[in-house]
Amino acid sequence: MPELPEAEAYRRLAEAAVGRRVVAVSTPDLWYLKGGTDRDALEAALVAARVLDVRRHGKRVLVDVDSGHVLGLQFGMTGTLELDGEAGVGDLRYTPSRREPGWVRFAVRFEEGGVLAVHDPRRLGGVTLDPDLSRLGPDAAVVRPAVLARALAASHAPVKARLLDQSVVAGVGNLVADEVLWRAAVDPRRRSADLRRAELGRLHRHLVATLEDLLARGGSHLGDLGPERRPGGRCPKDGTSLARAVVGGRTTWWCPAHQR
């Protein structure tokens, strides 16, 4: 599902729209507009405006336009960004691989040709004009070690729940969290505040490296642990049967032998 690596792939794809001018906005699913955004406001902000830049923060993609507004895109678990009919990533886990016109929830058409569209079967994503990003933590791909350490030290929640909290660090979803904790050899159930300095250091290092790695591989589900997140799955490091539990409200897989 779209986590930071997918959002970054979408951002890179959408960069090809920089400089184009919007001529039409399509909002076939008004439910998909979030945060008080309505069709009229979107049209007023986007039609005749030119794309200046495409940014990303955490799992969000932000399109700056020269009317002074920002188009905020979220993808939930099944959303794909497409430009000119090309999808930003290949497969998404838990998402039907086929494409149906009815699953396009939002689109803008450009004067120069081409379309930027959000395709989302399960409608868990959304579109927001001028989104409020004030409650998002630092982007996970560039968070400083000391900032991450401070955020984790301040909580008694399980470390995995902390990593999933977008106000702590933005961009980590369920699959990335499991992969990072597995690589860093940290038990996801550990109380965040109990982590030692060395463990915090490992977490930061593996967080940044894992995000880079998964972006290069082309998906959050393409981690080393990924294929083993299933009944009967074994730790790729030591062959131990993986443990499964709900941690931080999410299905969690980890190696009970080397994650401590």
248 makes contact with DNA (CB under 7 A): yes
CA angle, 213 as apex, 207 and 214 as ends, to 5°?
90
Shortest separation between residue 33's beta carbon and DNA, angstroms: 13
Tokens of 68: 């002074």
The residue within the footprint of DNA, chosen from 28, 68, 96, 256 (CB under 7 A), is 96
Among candidate residues 56, 59, 162, 229, the one labeled active-site is 59
Distance CA 117, CA 189 (A): 39
Among candidate residues 2, 121, 158, 188, the one labeled active-site is 2
As beta bridge partners, residue 115 has 109
55 makes contact with DNA (CB under 7 A): no
Distance CA 156, CA 203 (A): 17
- The residue range among 61-69, 83-91, 158-166, 206-214 that interacts with DNA, by the rule CB under 7 A, is 158-166
DSSP 106: E
- The residue range among 10-18, 38-46, 172-180, 209-217 that interacts with DNA, by the rule CB under 7 A, is 172-180
User: CB neighbours (10 Å) of residue 94?
Assistant: 12
As beta bridge partners, residue 106 has 118
Torsion-angle region of 220 (φ positive above 0: left; ψ -120 to 50: alpha; else: beta): alpha
Shortest separation between residue 240's beta carbon and DNA, angstroms: 20
Interacting residue ranges for DNA, rule: CB under 7 A: 1-3, 31, 34, 58-60, 74, 76-77, 94, 96, 98, 121-124, 154-158, 161, 164, 166, 173-175, 246, 248-251
Any idea which residues carry the catalytic annotation?
2-3, 59, 250
